[in-house]
Every structure is written in structure tokens, then in C-alpha cells.
Structure 1
Amino acid sequence: MALITSESVSPSSSSSTNSWRNDVFISYRSADTRYNFTDHLYSNLQQKGIKTFMDTDYKRGEQMSPALFEEIEGSKISIIVFSENYGSSPWCLDELVHILDCKRSKQQMVMPIFYKVKPSHVRKQLGTFGKAFVDHERIFINGMEEVMTWRDALTEAADLHGWILEDGYISNHLITIAIYLRPVILTFYFFFWLEYLYLFIYFTYSPFSHSLSVFSPTEDALYPSLS
């Protein structure tokens, strides 16, 4: 398993006061990896105390799109599992666009996993990704702006820090990913407490803040899910 890097992984402190539902959100193509790699990834992260969301958590009949977007917005980190047929799913591509929007607006961390696909194929829409976009351009002939948005999202995501998974034991890959994520998630809690300490000092000692109340961290912040 190769690790590729392109940017710092330290989150901005401005993200530290977000209302977090999850440590990690997983975006994936169900037909490719639901019952193998992604399922194992989800279980492994949960077992390590990393609160992880994947869309099978929703009950039947629940309206998926708005609810799923809320889960993305409430996650510290989004992991995108790029697989052979990820690019053929408009749903996955819309999900990817929203994840990258959260990266820009909420300083959410986004980390791709290239599961048996080349980053260059994702970045330039080659191979199965290229074939998928031939179909998208035919089907969405009157919505080419949306197709271009999907292309731009794939290009942007393929340039992010992440992992390339080719051959080898899945269990070894999962251990490596979990070991990497734990300190990254703890960094979010560090920034939360740093900002809390700053506000506590300001509200306590500033002559301009006597009419303000000091906020208290939630129980989830006091007792993070990492074991």
C-alpha cells in the first residue's frame, strides 16, 4: 500500500466548534466494495473507537439525499473509496461534490483511497472512469455543466493526500489506515480545547465580555470516542 501526500493534514481551528456527528464519513460505490473492503474498513474503524458512518446505517424508507448530506457536513473526515465503478454513479459523484464543498467551507479533511484503481485514471477520467463519462455526457446531454462539475471534483480529489491500495492483505491496509487516523482525529479535539481555552480566558478576563456567558463543551467533547 502506497501513501501519497499533497497537503498538510492539520485541521483549521475554525472547524473545531462544528457540531460533529461522526469522526469519519465513508463515500463508496456499493456494488464494488460494500461487502469486501469498505465493510471491513467500517468495522475496523468502529472497533478502534473511531465513530464512522456509511449509508447502510439509514433505515429503509428514509429520505436519503438530504439526510446523507447532513451526515457529510457533521463529519470531521471524509474518506472516499475510489473503485472501478465509482465514476459511473451520479449519486456517488454528487456525494463527492458535496464532500469537497465541505472541505472548502468547513475545513473538513478529505482523504481518498484508490482501491485497485490508478489515481491518474481518477484525475484524468481514464479507463473505467473515462468510459463512465462517455455515458454521462450522452445521458446528461442537456446538463453538461453538472458533468463538468463531476469531472472537476474527481480531479481535485485525486490530488489529495491518501492511499493507493493495489495488492496485499486487506487487514494490513486497514491497520495502517486506522493507525494514521487516530492521531489526526485527536488533533481535532486539541484544536477544540485550544479554542475553548482562548474563549474561557477572554470571557473571564476581558472587560468587554462581562455580559457574555462561557460556553461549556459537550459530553462528546469531554469524552471523545477514541479509546
Structure 2
Amino acid sequence: MAASSSSSIQPRRSWKYHVFLSFRGGDTRTRFTSHLYAALTRKGITTYKDDNNLCKGDVISYELPKAIEGSRIGVIVLSPDYASSAWCLDELCKILECKNKLGQHIVPVFYGVEPSDVRHHKGTFGEAFKKHEERQDSEKVKRWKAALTEVAGFSG
């Protein structure tokens, strides 16, 4: 019995960042997210925020997943237009993957939205998915919806 319980313990891991911030720039970049980033930084918490950590010439599609994998905590700022961004939804799926594979912690922040709207894809989330369903692969849209439903169930 001792062997089976020890097999679920993951080895200590070296994290490049304490926190990865996932957010919709137009909604929160210059207000809430910038204040959150500044507060975390003042406390000595190494935080990844794309406009502060991406360098000119970096390939975003390569750098963001690497930063997510290198972060101990994923903070997801769910705002009214979060679901309208395929980038944000892909980040969310990657964060959830890292939660399951690497033991990353997730903290959702419901900024100007109700958790039930996120969970049930109502309001601006529902509107965003109507547009995604017209343009995106149906399997991808299913993954995005499942990811939002899952993250809405976490304590924020």
C-alpha cells in the first residue's frame, strides 16, 4: 500500500516563474492585470505577463506554452471578452494540461463576469462561442468549452 501512495508523488520541480497570468488584453491589461502584476512583483513573486516577458522577435506560439509549463501557478483573469480570444482559450487549455501533468495550481479571477456565465457559456461567453463555432474546428471548440466549464468550478 505504501508503494501505491508514493507513486502519485511528483518529484520537486524547478519553476522559472511563480505565476503565469492569462488575460484578455483589451479587457484588463491596463487596469486590473497591470495592478495585479505590479503587486505580485512588489512581493517578490516572479510573474510572467506577455507584454513584460516577450522580447522582440520571439515566436509567441512557442514562447507562451513554454512560459506556462515553467510556471507554478496559472492565474486566469476571466473577463467579459476572454472567450472571444482563441489565444486565451488555447492558453487556458495548456494551463489545465499543466495542472494535470505537472501539478500546476490554478487560480481563476472572475473580473466582471459571473462564474455561472463562464461555466454555462452564457452572456458574452455564449456570444463568443457562437462565433467560434462558425470559424473553428468543432473539436477545438468542445475542448475550449470543457476547459471553461472546468476552470469555473475552481474556487476563485
TM over 0.5: yes
Which 4+ stretches in 1 moved above 4 angstroms?
none
AA matched with 1:158: A
1:148 paired with 2:142, answer yes
Q: Contact (CA 8 Å) 1:123, 1:155: kept in 2 or not? A: yes
> Contact conserved, 1:27 with 1:95, CA < 8 A, in 2?
yes
Counterpart position of 2:151: 157
User: 1:65 offset after TM fit, Å?
Assistant: 1.4
Q: For 1:37-186, what aligned pairs fall within 5 Å after superposition?
A: 37-56=32-51, 57-140=53-136, 143-162=137-156
1:180-219 to 2 correspondence within 5 Å? Answer: none
SS at match of 1:126: coil
TM-superposed CA distance for 1:20, in Å, is 0.6
Q: 1:94 Cα shift?
A: 0.3
Q: CA separation in 2, counterparts of 1:31 and 1:116?
A: 13
- With 56-65 and 122-131 compared, the bigger mean Cα shift is at 56-65
Quick one: which amino acid aligns to residue 71 of structure 1? A
Tell me, yes or no, if the aligned pair for 1:18 and 1:74 is still in contact at 8 Å: no
1:120 partner SS: helix
Matches of 1:41 and 1:60 in 2, distance apart?
Answer: 24
Task: Indicate the structure (1 or 2) with the bigger Cα radius of gyration.
Answer: 1
* Pairwise CA distance, 1:67: 1.1
Q: Which amino acid aligns with 1:48?
A: K
> Secondary structure of 2:36's partner?
helix
Aligned length: 148
Deviation at 1:104, TM superposition (A): 0.4
* Overall identity of the aligned pairs, in %: 48
Distance across 1 between alignment mates of 2:148 and 2:56 = 30
Alpha-carbon separation, structure 2, partners of 1:60 and 1:116 = 32
Indicate the residue corresponding to 1:182 in structure 2. Answer: none
Structure with the larger RCO, 1 or 2 (CA within 8 Å, 6+ apart): 1
Q: Distance in 2 between matches of 1:147 and 1:43?
A: 33
Q: Could you give the per-residue CA deviations for residues 29-58 of structure 1, whole angstroms, max 9, x where no partner exists?
A: 001000000000001000011111111121
Q: What's the secondary structure of 2:10's corresponding residue?
A: helix
Q: How well do the aligned residues superpose, as a CA RMSD in angstroms?
A: 1.1
Unaligned residue ranges in structure 2 (runs of 5+): 1-7
1:206 maps to: none
1:119-138 deviation per Cα after TM superposition (whole angstroms, max 9, x unaligned) = 01111100000000000001
8 Å CA contact retained: 1:28, 1:80: yes
